[in-house]
Structure 1
Amino acid sequence: IVKKKYPTCSFCAGCLASVGQVASGSSQLSIKAAWQAGAWGQCSASCGGGTRTRAVACKLSVVPMPQALCSDSPKPAVSQACNTQACDQPACPAACTQAMRGNEICDPECNRAECGFDDGICETNPPDPQLPDCTSFTTCSDCINKEASSSCGWCASNSKCLAGTSSGPFDAQQCLDADWKITYCAADDATLTYTSPADGSVLYAGSSYTITWTGGVSQDSVKLFLRVSSGTLFSGFGLPAAPIANSGSYTWTVPAGIPSSSFYRLYIASVNDLTNFGLSAAQFTVVGTLEAYEWQPGPWDMCSQRCGGGTRTRSVFCVSKSNNAAVAESNCNPATKLATSEACNTFACQPCPSVPVCMNSVCPKCTCMKQSSGNAGYFCGMVYNGATYGCDTVGSKYQECCRRQGFKCDDGCLDKAKWVWYDSGACSKPCGGGTQKRYYKCQGYWDEGSCWGSASYCAENVTCTDDMCQGPDPGYNKLYECNTQACPVYTWAVTPWTACSKSCGTGTQIRVATCIMGEGLNNGTAVADSLCTAAKPALSQDCATDPCEETALSMLQPEPGQVVGAGEVLSIAWGGGKRYSNISLYLKQVAVGVEGLLPMADTWQSDAWSLPAIVDSSNGTLDWVPPATIPSGQYLLRVVSTTNTSNEAALQSPVVVLSWLYYRLILVPLTPGGSLGSATTAEVTLYGSMGNSSTLSLGLTPAGGAIVHAATGTVTVGTGAGRDVGALQSLGIKVPDGTTLDV
């Protein structure tokens, strides 16, 4: 028995990205499930026609799969007729075994009428007398290596030798394409096993690494895949999408942009035998975001020797490209780290009189000399024949003459000038990540005691020429990130709709919309409406659009015969009509005065005596205050719908309105020609059929200008206003205390 290895449950649950046929162009592993049929069972009848059944399942190799994954091919029959020969025919010979009659192959022993022509198989697949009996071979080696005609093949998934060709078995249902072997046996394959990368390895984008493995066969091809943790398999990111030769190694250049993770594993699979696969046993790390970081060197320290060869060192930092801030070195590619030390001042220690004036004569050695007034540093120079000469040269040989003698002159810049960021251009965006230019200048400083100028001058930084700083200007032709904070979000926040202004006949709902910065009406900050770019939400909408029903009008108030005085409130109420529409109010005087005399005109009046002509019918009530000028009398009220003038109602009995009247009181002395008394004022109360009046304060004015009229003795009292009391029945007169009135 050949021992085979198949995916464990945990592997199949997370490693194989998909099963079934993968779409063309996919970089994922293509594994196809297929229908597998078992052997036919015993026929239900030995002759005369019976039925036999078998099990048919969708499987990947030997692993059961959902039937939907085999839907691209028809499912084999699970039952068929058998022993269809008549019962009076000879019995099927014993040489035609039950296994032969259930193997889907036209076996010569069963190709007889009494055997139903191998239960119908031979009717469509007549036996080929040249085909060997492949089922007699029980091992893969015997099946493939001992059959020179190559008409047999080994099905690795069910360990059977079957008749077929290089394209597959004649019975395609008996074996998966991936398990069909005609040139070598799967048992001969050494297991594919990764040997590198090792556990805990760190792979950096931009660098190349050798992936190695063992196993498989040299004539086979393999496919390489990646996965993160227990996720799906995928290729790409520098790994070939197509199969490659099983050479045992592959050089992988990790591309920039590959997702960074510490849980990568590699998967390798044989193209010809998907049951032979390997998974790196350990996880390794891939750092794929190197484009965000870079190595940045610090300034070189002083050389350990002035001349004759020394060493100088510097610090190298891993920094973020976005803000130049130092980060952990693990973020940068160690393969590209800059050198931290180098040889320096390798020239021999010797004088260097390279000044032209000394070419034909012997000059003194160069030394450090003070700069001219206003330039408080030193330079490498000499005095010859009373004149001062500079030994400096430009570029890499600057101060070479002095340095070859073992010293250098402090000019504020040599070996210590650095690029200093001093200003920035405008950012291209106010938020959300923009770019801007940065401006740098080459700047040095004075060593303590080296500056002979003023204290304030020596405390300042020294501006140096660009060639004194290492490397190019960091701001030249380069943009830096700026305003990386997220842009504020401006949205409209609306309050809930108010209740509908009407219950029918189309009302209105309103709401308030506020432009806010942030999330939600209560969590954001109100800002100007102009900051919200979206259209402002509607602030009103129609509601209750069904038409209102109109009902018959009826008068509810005032009560018939109700009395109201001028200036008093008379409540008018009605029922019915149409909601949210208007009614017209009318007034008609049907009697003059409280005595009920007929008026001169009997017509309905609109907008008369402070009674409004039109009011909202929805209210159903109105308070009317008759003015003081309205004539006393009896009045009828009527309401009429403005939407249907035939819908009206009126009082059946009038109300009495008591207006204000002007009264004149004439007093006559009790004794003709006598005196009225000493009173000059009086309070008069009238009593009538409609009640009494309020007290009237009257001044007693003689008709002729004197209290006693010479002729008649009568006195006319000035008029006073009071409410109509109906038929006058009596009056009361009261004079001030201490006065008299004789009338």
Structure 2
Amino acid sequence: MGDSLINATAMLGRCDVREKLLSKECDTGRACAIWKTTEWSMCPSGCGEQWSTRRVDCTDSNGVALNERVCLRRIGPKPDTHRECPPGPCSFWKTEPFGACSVSCGRGKRTRAVSCIQNNEMVDDSFCSAAPKPAVTENCVLAECAEWQPSPWSTCSASCGAGNQTRSLTCVQKGDTVHLTLCDQKTRPKSVKDCSKGPCAAESQLSSPKIWWATGSWTECSTKCGKGKQRRLVKCRDKFRDLPESYCSHLERVEDERECDEKPCARWSQGPWKPCPSTCGEHIYQERAVRCVGVADDAEDVAEELCDRAVKPNSTRDCRLPKCPATQTEPPTGRWIAQKWTECSATCGGGWRTRVVSCSARQCDVARRPLDAERCGADACPAPAANYTWQLPPWSACSVTCGAGEVRREVWCEDKSRTKCSRTCGKGQRTRIVECVSDVSEMVLADEKCPEALRPTATIRCRVQPCARWRAKPWGQCSETCGVGVQTRKIYCKLGKKTQDDDSKCQHLPAKPSNSTRCVRPACPTYSWISTPWSKCIDPCGDRQQMRNVLCMKGGSVKAAPHMCNGTKPIERRKCPASLCPYEWVPGPWNTCTQSCGNGTQTRDVDCRLKTSHSYLNNRKKLEPVVPKERCGLLPQPSATQPCSVNVCGTEYSWVIDPWGPCSTTCGPGVRRRKVRCQGRMGERGTKEQCEAFARKPNRTQSCFNRNCLPATCQEIKASMKTTHAIDSEYAILLDGYQIRVHCHMMNETVPRAYISVDPATNFAEVYGRRLVFPHTCPHGGQRNDSCECSAEGAAGAGLTRFRKLRLDLMNRRININDFTFADTIHGQPVPYATAGDCYSMRDCPQGKFSVDLRGTGLRIADDLQWEDRGHRTSSKVSRKENNVLVEGKCGGYCGKCAPDRYKGLVFDVAPKNLPV
């Protein structure tokens, strides 16, 4: 039987190998265009944006300069001429000194403040991310702690029944016995416990059963590592049953809970990455320290077996640096290295074999380069079978667009009797006719005549040429780091393993895949200008300004660089509104002209008065308040003089004006009068009409104001009592246009004194008189506790003083803090008003207190008054409330106190909203 199936190896022998040509050289006939680049320049020193540059020229492969458009068309985009340098250290970490140790003995911790500083101000830590943040905490070891050392228990105090046992306790430090106060009182062991020696004789006669605490087994520890708890069941019972716990009240309770510690807890701690040892090159690694540290011991190293090795962080990573640029220096000459020859491309008829030839250095002698191809298989080939032929597809395009390259094609030997491949590209099938033929007559027989097991296959797989298909590069990074952006990718046409230069081979395919898509990153942070409230106008009547802070904030909580905020930055300063000033200039009427005829000058008084909108007296005009001119400060003042002309000189008739008479009142607003008559040139009396023909008649009356009706001082009150005897009492006075009540004292003296009445419960000053035995502590969270471990040897001058009245210096607006006329010293020494202190602790733990309460007096403490600390290791906390009407403070030190500014004194202002109703 005939079999026309031939395997692939046999089929290759059927075709003439001399006709098999897989590739050949090609030459485009023109020089290639290239981008010629120089070395990158050195990065400049400094911080901020810094750039490195290089020169990029368009030339051909022979070095001839070309127009840049040629390279852009043939090669693609021009390489970068600038690249950003690594940023310099513009921001830096600022560290404060470490604070005190958290314990007074043994091992503890101490902390410090670490902040990122840029342009002399504190900014978000992200500004300093280029350098590792210094440690905020560190361990500290002080003197060894003292410990309790109990003696053995004594024998039971009773020979039968219930009794007790005792033992003594000593405090030991480094083997020496020290004072008991040096040991921690919280861990002090018991020195007395109950005991039982069995029932006494009288009791033993009773038939009550034995009672005891029965216990179960301990549970497993509640934690896998570190300190936990174990529990067990404890019951009061006798030999028959469980009993209520009251039956065992005479017995010492057995513990049902105890601490346990299986093993210390630990975690992996990784340090910062060390800088890369190079700035360019491949396979460059950076390292960091990875340690197993204890959780309870706050990052102290422990055995690595205590940490989970499955989650151990990497200690090295690839720096992923760019390749190093080629140097301009001439490389040394190397030697040629030739690899083994490949198999011959043909077994007969002549073929080729090749090998790889490389240079061991950047440059070798071209004249001595070994051959990388040579002829082989020169034996003659047998005549090809008539039924087989080489299948020769078209040549590919030249592998280069300029210079010398290569064209290739796939070649295969094919049986002519087979049908064509079922597909024009890619994988398909070819079929052939398989018949059962007689060996003798070569006639076609029925298929059953031939053994089915020996039947040749009628179909084989085939592959004519590769199919064109669309391929996509991975998606690039999102165009935005936050919010919504765009991702792009490159779509290209691929034929087999080769990428096509254009898309023409894929035009017949379905629609080209999209090269862009929408990407969503985390929501963008919002940057906005945040303004603090305007500062208070301390003196709205002067040329003062209000200020506020305007910051660019990220998300409303993190300070950011100003350029991150859009829009104009809001103003940070503005003048105080004049409307806030309660005073104004009020001009009086003009006085008589200095000349009876012709041009003269007239004057008027300009007073500083309380605005009627601020005065509660405006319904009582006779008490219209005039205040010292200093209160109007820098407000623009109306003119006090102006030119005038009563009569024209030389007229037949003119007005004759007498001087003004006295004011109709001695205080407050009134009226004054003068005579105005018409007189002729010869002294004769004229009529009103005769004078008005030449000049308007001057006014005969005008308003006047001598002084405020209310007195301003106790001296004025005393002076007004000419007919009566002045007594010490409460009086109303006018202060800066407002009526307040004062107590005038020593009215029988030449200079009486003014006081205001206050509540002694909320007007006091104290220097606390106790001192801590351990002054480096601050027990009870800094709160006052008279049961503290303290000695009575506190600050010198300790005491508590309460004030019923405060002496005022009305001229200088000060409260005399050293006047104790109406003060009660509750204990110790007198303490000046608005002063507090102690000698309690070296920590920030003040105990001395003061309170200034001016509610209902019409007065308030001045805005710009400050309390100053005096002494050693001082600490003060002063709070102002209700527009400085109420001021409270806690002050102290070791030893220290606080008091009002010694040069200004306790300065006060009028507080209209604080006036008594």
Q: TM-score, normalised by structure 1?
A: 0.28
Q: TM-score, normalised by structure 2?
A: 0.24
